[in-house]
Chain A
């Protein structure tokens, strides 16, 4: 006698705690093995691109905070670079350095969230590594509050620089953080980086071949884990990245462990960048003084500003018609593009690896749906 079997379709999300927001996966299982995956998104769609068309250039900065809410600073930076290209202006050097420092701090905070939730989805020790990550992230958010009055929705940068110089007590606080954080990072690495259970669960699971990654135009740590040292900070330096030295960590076979490992190494590189920026920064203006509050670009001008955000290449494509607001604002968000490889990553692997793989890609729904 044979048992009659049939594939089962399961909805994971949109209200699932480990899908990083309101993300829905319609998965068909054959027993425990994934045979078909269909990502469904759009639950967090707010029409940011359309809203940007009826706000002036500075007001859009507040919208960009809400795209990838785990790394608002880098969203600000990408947008401001696009507007500066549109207006053909360049911020003063101190503004550039402040942007670089805050963007790297934000990268550390974002990677800590990514790594923490990745480990949480593996079921590590009831959330202990996540809490360690959040402890360090809390210090960075505290620095942001000191700098710009908010922790998540920062709105710190403006076209032409940053809104204000750092307060006097920011620099000692940053030095305290830079002294304390390497110890916490070493603790986290000792706790988990070479743990045997982690290795068994993640090594060789859901590898992403490099040619597929390139063809799907994947970027960020997911691409670098597959073995290509492609980083816009190196390839096309913006702000103060051409004045600092850092390495681009690269994985070998693009499995879950490599994606996790690349993020851990990037945190160390970001720390080194922040240190170099502090050594190089000089007093001076932080914002172009002659830019008016309401900006206008020449009609018919277009600009594409891109940065290496923590999740990959984040780009803003702006078209001007000469008015006070952009005629068109297109956002190239890394999370959405990285999601296109979901099917290749998940099909053929087990249910238990599915959520972990999704965590290792580190998507953010605020940016996917925008």
Chain B
């Protein structure tokens, strides 16, 4: 019968007339954000940062500007730099998070903000001072240690630099043990769990060929 399907369709709209709206009135109501949300206001721990500029090299847009000077510590290891400029120009940032992925020392984290409006273009550059003083509520994006600790930047407390990083980093362990960075890894008696399984895997079961 012609029109029957239209009546069936209108029954759906009638059913939805009685439902609560799905939309959210944004500035008053807010949806919960997930902990992995990649947003603005990067969280940066100066204590963990060595000034290697891996983040700046890995940024697809090249918007991180880093200027360092020799700090005179740990020279045999290639010097731990003192940071003078660490500017992130978030006007061009696309929040892909590759800088966070590239950071080998867990010094840089994504933030959770998304309300980027500023009155001046100059305010769209996060300077080093702002990074130093900003609220340390890092996103758990690409940081499994925070996820394992069930950290949520929207509910939890600020995280300090000692809690933020992976504990197994030799760098961090030796610094915690009060050792200088220029001592050789074999000299320190810090247990290193990461190397044991790889050594066991590397040993072949058959006859060993070649020099070892």
Seen from chain A, the residues whose Cβ lies within 8 Å of a Cβ on chain B are 55, 58-59, 61-63, 65, 125, 128, 132, 135, 138, 145-150, 153, 155, 163-164, 167, 187, 190-192, 194-197, 293
Q: How far is the CA of A187 from the CA of B15 in the complex (A)?
A: 10
Cβ-closest chain B residue relative to A194: B5
Residues on the B chain within 8 Å of A132, using CB? 16
Q: Which of B3, B36, B58 has the most CB of A within 10 A?
A: B36
What are the 7 A-B residue pairs with the smallest beta carbon separation, nearest first? A149-B38, A59-B60, A149-B36, A62-B96, A191-B12, A146-B34, A191-B9
17 more contacts with CB within 8 A, not counting A146-B36, A149-B37, are A59-B98, A62-B60, A62-B98, A145-B37, A149-B97, A149-B141, A150-B95, A153-B96, A164-B144, A167-B35, A167-B147, A187-B12, A191-B12, A192-B9, A196-B5, A293-B58, A293-B101
Distance, CA A59 to CA B101, complexed state (A): 11
Interface residues of B in 1-54 (CB under 8 A from A): 2-3, 5-6, 8-9, 11-13, 15-16, 22, 33-38
Q: A61, A62, A190: which contacts B8 (Cβ < 8 A)? A: A190
Chain B residues within an 8 Å CB radius of A150: 37-38, 95
Residues of B within 8 A of A293 (CB): 58, 101-102
User: Nearest chain-B residue to A58 (Cβ)?
Assistant: B98
Within the complex, the shortest CB–CB distance from B41 to chain A, in Å, comes to: 14
B74 at the interface (CB under 8 A from A): no
Given contacts A149-B141, A195-B9, A196-B3, contact A163 B36 (CB under 8 A): no
State in angstroms the CA–CA spacing of A196 and B3 once bound together. Answer: 7
List B contacts of A135 (CB < 8 A): 22
Q: Please tell me if B107 contacts chain A, counting CB pairs below 8 Å.
A: no
Residue among B3, B5, B38, B95 with most chain A CB within 10 A: B5
Find out whether the CB atom of A155 lies under 8 angstroms from the CB atom of B6.
no
In the assembled complex, the Cα of A192 lies from the Cα of B13 at a distance in Å of 11
In the complex, the answer to whether B94 meets A149 with C-beta atoms within 8 Å is no
- Say whether B36 contacts A153, CB under 8 Å: no
Question: Shortest CB–CB separation between residue A196 and chain B, in angstroms?
Answer: 6
Q: Are B6 and A197 in contact (CB under 8 A)?
A: yes
Give chain B residues whose Cβ lies under 8 Å from the Cβ of A59.
58, 60, 98
Q: By the criterion CB–CB under 8 Å, are A190 and B12 in contact?
A: yes
User: Could you tell me if B36 and A148 are in contact, using CB atoms closer than 8 angstroms?
Assistant: yes
Cα-based distance from A170 to B12 in the complex (angstroms) = 30
* Chain B residues, Cβ within 8 Å of A191: 9, 12-13
Chain B, 123-161, contact with A by CB distance < 8 Å: what is the 0/1 string?
000000000000000011110100100000000000000
Min distance, Cβ B53 to any Cβ of chain A, angstroms: 14
Q: How far is the CA of A145 from the CA of B36 in the complex (A)?
A: 7
State A125–B58 Cα separation when bound (angstroms). Answer: 49
Task: Note all chain B residues with C-beta closer than 8 A to A195.
Answer: 5-6, 9
B110 within 8 A of A: yes
Query: B60 contacts which chain A residues (CB < 8 A)?
Result: 55, 59, 62-63
- Alpha-carbon distance A132/B2, docked complex (angstroms): 25
Residues of A within 8 A of B58 (CB): 59, 293
Tell me the smallest distance from the CB of A259 to a CB of chain B, in Å: 20
A147–B36 Cα gap in the complex (Å)?
7
Across the interface, which residues of A come within 8 angstroms of B5, CB to CB?
194-196
Q: 30 A-B pairs, CB-CB below 8 angstroms?
A: A55-B60, A58-B98, A59-B60, A61-B96, A62-B96, A63-B60, A65-B96, A132-B16, A135-B22, A146-B36, A148-B141, A149-B34, A149-B38, A149-B139, A153-B95, A153-B96, A155-B96, A155-B97, A163-B142, A167-B34, A167-B36, A190-B9, A190-B11, A191-B13, A194-B5, A194-B8, A195-B6, A196-B3, A293-B58, A293-B101
Q: Once bound together, how far apart are the Cα atoms of A207 and B35, in whole Å? A: 48
Q: Measured between alpha carbons, how far is A196 from B8 in the docked complex, in Å? A: 11
A135 to B36, CA, bound (A): 22
**Complex CA distance for A147 and B60, rounded to whole angstroms:** 22
Task: Known A59-B60, A62-B60, A164-B144; judge A128-B36 contact (CB<8 A).
Answer: no
In the bound complex, residues from chain A placing their C-beta under 8 Å from that of B13 are 125, 128, 191
Minimal beta-carbon separation of A122 from chain B (angstroms): 13
Residues of A within 8 A of B140 (CB): 167
Q: Give the chain A neighbours of B6 by CB distance below 8 A.
A: 195-197
Give B47 Cβ to nearest chain A Cβ, in Å: 23
Per the bound structure, the CA–CA distance linking A163 and B15 in Å amounts to 42
Contacts A59-B98, A163-B142; A149 near B12 (Cβ below 8 A): no
B contact residues around A194 at 8 Å (CB): 5, 8
Residues of A within 8 A of B110 (CB): 149
| Whole-angstrom CA separation of A134 from B126 in the bound complex | 35
Interface string of B165-178 (1 = CB under 8 A from A): 00000000000000
Residues of B within 8 A of A197 (CB): 6
Roughly how many angstroms separate A125 CA and B13 CA in the complex, as a whole number? Answer: 10
Per the bound structure, the CA–CA distance linking A242 and B1 in Å amounts to 44
Nearest residue (CB) in A for B96 is A62
Give CA–CA (A195, B94) in the complex, Å. Answer: 43
Residues on the A chain within 8 Å of B96, using CB: 61-62, 65, 153, 155
- Shortest CB-to-CB span from A24 to chain B, Å, is 27
Which chain A residues border B16 with CB–CB below 8 Å? 132
B contact residues around A192 at 8 Å (CB): 9
Which of B3, B98, B147 has the largest count of A CB atoms less than 10 A from its CB? B98
